A = this chain, B = another copy of it.
């Protein structure tokens, strides 16, 4: 990992073309040849970058570039797509290199996959007498998160989100429409389950006869832990 603070301008050509005017920025050069160009604001997204696999070549500036103050040129070329990033460096204020080694990586909890597992294991949260048919029930337009049966044996399609927004209701609506054309499944009702459901999504769901359900992650995980400890 090499960290350079430099006055530079940048040009990118690939899926789009883009240009960064002359300013002072941080250039982060990773071991794999990739390059990130950060300013002192914005969020985690760099102003510009090149993803691996790619190679960096350092070049001498042409005379006309040297005349306007360019001291070196970094040309980063993507190995597969021929995307190219060219950094024209005017002045380097700081240049540090350090060996980091392999990173053990991030451990996550509470993403949608985990919610789906938990709800499948605690299908009774949908209601008394509900049973799990299967997770990831496949249809022609995509997988339904959970297919269950209610206390009367009727099909119930469950769409799970971390945050329930209108998109998710639309998605479930499409599934229901399709599944209700299948005489083996129909009638199919819908449940929209999420840790948090936006008011508009709740309204839309109810308007379409879809039940909404708030999932309490901590509670569900707690129950699961207790189950685990019983064994």
> Measuring CB to CB, which residues of chain A are less than 8 angstroms from any residue of chain B?
1, 3, 5, 11, 13, 15-21, 23-26, 28, 30-32, 34, 36, 38-49, 51-52, 82, 84, 86, 93-94, 96, 98-111, 140-142, 162-163, 166, 170, 174, 200, 203-204, 227, 229-230
Q: How far is the CA of A203 from the CA of B3 in the complex (A)?
A: 47
Query: Using Cβ atoms and an 8 Å threshold, which residues of chain B touch A229?
Result: 13, 17
Q: How far is the CA of A60 from the CA of B140 in the complex (A)?
A: 56
Shortest distance from the beta carbon of A4 to any chain B beta carbon, whole Å: 10
Interface pair B18/A108, CB less than 8 Å apart: yes
Interface pair B98/A39, CB less than 8 Å apart: no
Q: How far is the CA of A51 from the CA of B82 in the complex (A)?
A: 32
Interface pair A106/B18, CB less than 8 Å apart: yes
Interface pair A100/B13, CB less than 8 Å apart: no
Interface pair A84/B230, CB less than 8 Å apart: yes
Query: Using Cβ atoms and an 8 Å threshold, which residues of chain B touch A99?
Result: 24
Interface pair A26/B26, CB less than 8 Å apart: no
Interface pair A140/B203, CB less than 8 Å apart: yes
Interface pair A20/B104, CB less than 8 Å apart: yes
